[in-house]
Structure 1
Amino acid sequence: MSLTPHKLGEIATITSSKRIFFNEYVDSGVPFYRSKEIIQFFNNETNSQPLYIAEAKYSQIKEKFGVPKINDLLLTSVGTIGVPYLVKDDNPFYFKDGNLTWFRDLEKKVVPKYFFYLLQTPSTRSLLNTRAKGSSQPALTIESLKDIELAFHNLEAQRKIVDILSGYDDLIENNRRRIELLEESARLLYREWFVHFRFPGHEHSEIKDALPSGWIKAKLSDVADVNHRTIGRNYQGPIKYIDISAVTPGRINLAQEYDFAEAPSRAQRVVKHGDILWSCVRPNRRSHAIVWKPAENLIASTGFAVITPTHLPTSYLYHAITTDDYVGYLSNNARGVAYPAVTGTDFENSRIVKPLPQIVQLFDDIVEPVLTQIYILNEGNVRLAQSRDILLPKLMNGEVAV
């Protein structure tokens, strides 16, 4: 099937936003996106530190200049180049000028989601990066984007390609929503039993010193080890390395493969099934996750506290050390201005509630299978994404006919 070249300036109106100043951020209102947020959305990561502008400011901009609407597209254009975001609904938001470029009126010349996929091919990514200017902070200008030429299928073929690739994305999204529901069900059960004390048999339990009878406050070091496994300096061979940037709330998003001799110097923490990773840097960002059925050679950065449960199951301990109160404890103990951080000792000295063993066991009997189901769904999404990413460039360059 023949492809037709078009300059991007021919298929869309390419522009940016009106400038929003730092003092115009507010505590709540209309979401405000930068490149960071767009990259997080693209990777299905949680935005743990959202920014907002006032609704009145948004309404003023919308009336005078317009705002992104369904099927418009934003593209990261500074630093990390070429990550696309297709607007899927009419929920209001605005975005940072310079960081992001706005493609409007796509529907007049192209199927918007086809263009979204086209921007993800390795050849397009490479082309965008070669057109970026600047060494320390590469950037794509609006004028340079207008002049970039890409090859497009006809509209009928574009729709077929979108149908094929959307099938993968729909399955991934369905699994992601199932994961969110499973995670929420575990959190709600934890709160019901261990915060509100409505656990099985609670009506027969007396409250003493703000805890049910037989429950105690324990130091984390009494129920878990912190950073007790380190890879030997003489180790030889490949490793899978988790950097602190690879963990977002509840997720390990990437484990990079290295030969150990060439791995970052921070690649030292050995992690095993059931361990809990907690980033020591900026704990208010809640970068923590459970390690479940990992590769044997999985190694984490020394920027993490690796918490290994010894006298409580992972299912209980993870929820106990990710509550708002626990995050507050870590944030209050963080030291440093530019990179506020806690240490393994801060984790060891923290205190958590240790319920009666039979109650914890009942909780684990319910939640451990949930953790396994989450793992299975996540693994399924990895395989779906890999299959989609193999097929995508072949569809786009015509190697696979539609």
Structure 2
Amino acid sequence: SRFIEMFGEPENNNKAWPVKSLDKLCTVGSSKRVYQSEQSSEGVPFWRISDLVSKIDTGTVDSALFISEIKYTELKRAGLVPVTGDILVTSRGTLGRCYIIQDEDCFYFQDGMISWLSNYSEEITPLYLQYLFTMSGFRKQIDNTQAGSTVAYFSIAMLKKLQVMVPDKALQEQFAAFVAQTDKSKLAIQKSLEKLEILKKSLMQKYFG
């Protein structure tokens, strides 16, 4: 993959990048606990881990739980709401799947089940971290934290200790540009396929309808 070409294999760090624990590169935490009595049937979506996985897999969330606008504003004013570029990490069941917060996102999330990476140091970019978490060599570290455990749970303490290779920042930014270009190409192909499908349907209608 392009990631391995640029940065090497995370398992053995064959390009000999500096290595730091995750808590030296960003703040590792979670949300403020929201009690059941503070949840409601409308307002700002309140994501559970299944909602986060749905967002990662499909790009959509059908929230069943909410918190009031007032509660959300209170949390936001206190700096307790993720901002654009922060990463949410699944920490129960399916471990270490990442979602980068987008400009348009407006939701809150369940503590304990979902961890939150923020306030990155100058050495690291969120996109690099997100892709690092998908690499099998890095995921072995996550698997090793679960030795002897019956329920898959990824605590904040475990997350903080993960060893992260830290490539040159300019290289991380080149990788981000490559991913953006690839995403743009995928979108263009998707739109072309949709247009072809519409054309096919109209021709079928014309000749066989």
Scaled by the length of structure 1, the TM-score of the pair is: 0.42
1:306 alignment counterpart:
none
Q: What is the match of residue 136 of structure 2? A: 122
Which secondary structure state, in structure 2, belongs to the residue aligned with residue 106 of structure 1?
Answer: coil
Question: Of 60, 77, 89, which aligns to 1:75?
Answer: 89
Percent identity among equivalent residues?
27
Q: Does 1:18 align with 2:32?
A: yes
What SS does the corresponding residue of 1:120 show, helix, strand or coil?
coil
| 1:165 aligned onto 2:5 | no
- Is the 1:71–1:107 contact (alpha carbons within 8 Å) kept by the matching residues of 2? no
- Asked if structure 1 preserves the Cα contact closer than 8 Å seen for 2:86 and 2:100, the reply is yes
Match of 1:109 among 102, 111, 123: 123
Instruction: Provide the rounded CA distance (Å) in 2 between the counterparts of 1:25 and 1:182.
Output: 45
1:175 to partner: Cα distance = 5.1
Is the Cα–Cα contact under 8 Å of residues 12 and 109 in structure 1 kept in the other structure?
A: no
- Given residue 48 of structure 1, which amino acid in structure 2 is its aligned partner? D
Aligned to 1:36: 50
Asked whether the equivalents of residues 133 and 139 of structure 1 are also in contact (C-alpha less than 8 Å), the reply is: no
Q: Distance in 2 between matches of 1:35 and 1:182?
A: 37
User: How has the CA–CA distance of structure 1 residues 175 and 77 changed in structure 2, closer, same or farther, with 3 Å as cutoff?
Assistant: farther
User: SS state of the match for residue 94, structure 2?
Assistant: coil
CA distance 1:177–1:4, change in 2 (3 Å)? farther
- 1:328-361 alpha-carbon deviations (Å, 9 max, x no partner): xxxxxxxxxxxxxxxxxxxxxxxxxxxxxxxxxx
Distance 1:19-1:153 versus aligned 2 partners, 3 A rule: same
Q: Does 2:107 match 1:97?
A: no
Q: Is the 8 A contact 2:89 2:96 kept in 1?
A: yes
Give, in angstroms, the shift of residue 124 of structure 1.
1.7
Question: Runs of 5+ in structure 2 lacking a partner?
Answer: 1-14
Provide the secondary structure at the position in 1 that maps to 2:51.
helix
Amino acid at match of 1:91: D
Counterpart contact for 1:74–1:85, Cα < 8 Å? yes
Any residues of structure 2 matched to 1:146-157 within 5 Å, and which? 146-157=160-171
Which letter does structure 1 place at the counterpart of 2:96? G
Q: CA, structure 1 residues 34+171, in 2 after alignment: closer, same or farther (shift >3 Å)?
A: farther
Alignment-derived partner of residue 21 in structure 2: 7
User: By how many angstroms is 1:94 displaced?
Assistant: 1.0
Contact 2:31–2:80 (Cα < 8 Å) also in 1? no
- Equivalences for 1:293-308 in 2 at 5 Å? none
Give the ranges of 4+ consecutive aligned residues of structure 1 lying more than 4 Å apart after TM superposition: 173-183
2:71 to 48, 51, 57: 57
Mapping of 1:2-401 within 5 angstroms? 2-106=16-120, 108-132=122-146, 135-174=149-188, 365=205
CA deviation digits over 1:114-168, x for unaligned, max 9? 1111111112222212213773421111111111112121101111122223322
Check 1:43–1:179 CA distance in 2 against 1; reply closer, same or farther (3 A cut): farther
Question: 2:8 — aligned with what?
Answer: none
Q: Distance in 1 between matches of 2:52 and 2:189?
A: 21
RMSD over aligned CA atoms reads: 3.0
Structure 1: gaps (5+ residues): 186-314, 316-361, 369-402
| TM-superposed deviation, 1:105 | 0.7
Size of the alignment, in residue pairs? 191
Q: Shift of the alpha carbon at 1:24?
A: 2.8
Shift of the 177–71 alpha-carbon distance from structure 1 to 2, 3 Å rule, reads farther
TM-superposed CA distance for 1:23, in Å, is 3.6
**In structure 2, how many angstroms separate the alpha carbons of the residues matched to 1:35 and 1:16?**
13
Shift of 1:17: 0.5
Offset at residue 52 of structure 1 (A): 1.9
Aligned-partner Cα distance in 2 for 1:139–1:133: 11
Report the AA paired with residue 18 of structure 1: K
* Aligned residues of 2:30 and 2:112 also touching (Cα < 8 A): yes
State whether residues 79 and 139 of structure 1, in contact with CA within 8 Å, keep that contact through their aligned partners in structure 2. yes
Instruction: Give how far 1:34 is off.
Output: 2.0
